Amino acid sequence: MTAVPHPPNPLLDALPSEPHIVELGQPLFTGMPCSPNHPGFRMTLARRHGDMVRADGGSASSEVIITGGHVGTHIDALSHVSHDGKLHGGVDAGEAQSGGAFSQHGAEQIPAMVTRGVLLDAAAALGADTLPGGYGVTAEDLERAAALGGAEPRQGDVALVRTGWARNFDDPVAYLGKESGVPGITESAGEWLAARGVRAVGADTTACEQIPAGAGHSLLPVHRLLLVESGIYIMEHLALDDLAAAGVHEFLFVVAPLRIVGGTGSPIRPLAVVA
């Protein structure tokens, strides 16, 4: 039988037959680090093999999952943060959240993203494996990281900032930095990213911004700048060490948030497709 030739498809033809995919998200497990501002992740089997056995000997198991929208690797919807009672675009936060779910800027409105991703390795740019707790990543630091990687964010890109802090993920006390603080971008770095028109910003920490020692989450100026003022989505708890170890700073970024109607965030499984 003669094979029928398929018409060319530029999009599919450009993909490698066996693409190298790098996971950018952390695994979800009971007891993983979680901000005290959010309910922690819990998973347990609700039904076990043998609880019910069908006539043919078959059996099935299933689980119950309890989690907040901002637990583990996730993305913030534009409804997540308000300033002076207003969400992005001047939307009244009180009116939008009436009824127990957001009527505007809900998580279901976060777009799926298949776009250029750029890794800004702030730790490497400063000659460190991991930035110290509480360190504030500045615009100048991001300039150095972009120069080091040879890739600068552009309009519509996703920019991922690596601090190296994810190596503490298996130690919740150290990772959340209650005593040490957590490294992250400062307002000047947020302004640098917003000026380049990025679609989303992500980081390998719990808050995607600097948390000084002992400060907790009392002030979140970068969230205000990105979410409220600029309409830029934020991703947190990323895993960026494998990407950095591979020396990859520019890649195809893929993510599809859950369509949680009226929610303020969504768990995600982000991927870097490396040719």
Q: What is the pLDDT of residues 62-118, one digit of tens each?
A: 999 999 999 999 999 999 999 999 999 999 999 999 999 999 999 999 999 999 999
275: pLDDT confidence band, cut at 50, 70 and 90?
A: confident
Answer whether residue 19 is part of any domain: no
| Alpha-carbon span 234 to 232, nearest angstrom | 7
Answer whether residue 17 is part of any domain: no
CATH number for the domain including 261? 3.50.30.50
Answer whether residue 12 is part of any domain: no
State mean pLDDT over 183-199: 98
For the ranges 12-16, 151-155, 228-232, 259-263, the lowest mean pLDDT is seen at 12-16
Answer whether residue 9 is part of any domain: no
Answer whether residue 214 is part of any domain: yes
8 by DSSP, 3-state: which?
Answer: coil
222-236 as b/e: b if 16+ CB within 10 A: bbbbbbbebebbbbb
Residue 240's domain comprises 70-274
Task: Name the burial class of residue 13, with classes exposed (0-12), middle (13-18) and buried (19+) by CB atoms within 10 angstroms of its CB.
Answer: exposed
Given the DSSP bridges, would you call strands 74-76 and 233-236 parallel, antiparallel or unpaired?
Answer: antiparallel
DSSP-derived letter for residue 35 is: -
State mean pLDDT over 189-214: 96
| Alpha-carbon span 106 to 56, nearest angstrom | 45
Is the confidence at residue 15, as pLDDT, over 80? no
Is the confidence at residue 262, as pLDDT, over 70? yes
**What pLDDT digit, counting tens, does each position of 18-75 carry?**
889 999 999 999 999 999 889 999 999 999 999 999 999 999 999 999 999 999 999 9
116, 154 Cβ separation under 8 angstroms: yes
| Alpha-carbon span 34 to 13, nearest angstrom | 41
Answer whether residue 1 is part of any domain: no
Is the confidence at residue 17, as pLDDT, over 90? no
Answer whether residue 106 is part of any domain: yes
Answer whether residue 149 is part of any domain: yes
| Alpha-carbon span 236 to 241, nearest angstrom | 14
| Alpha-carbon span 216 to 186, nearest angstrom | 15
Share above pLDDT 70 across residues of the chain, in percent, rounded to a whole number: 97
178: pLDDT confidence band, cut at 50, 70 and 90?
A: confident
Is the confidence at residue 230, as pLDDT, over 70? yes
270: pLDDT confidence band, cut at 50, 70 and 90?
A: very high
Is the confidence at residue 14, as pLDDT, over 90? no
For the ranges 30-34, 211-215, 249-253, the lowest mean pLDDT is seen at 211-215
16: pLDDT confidence band, cut at 50, 70 and 90?
A: confident
| Alpha-carbon span 157 to 174, nearest angstrom | 31
Q: Determine the pLDDT at residue 25.
A: 98
The total number of structural domains in the chain stands at 1
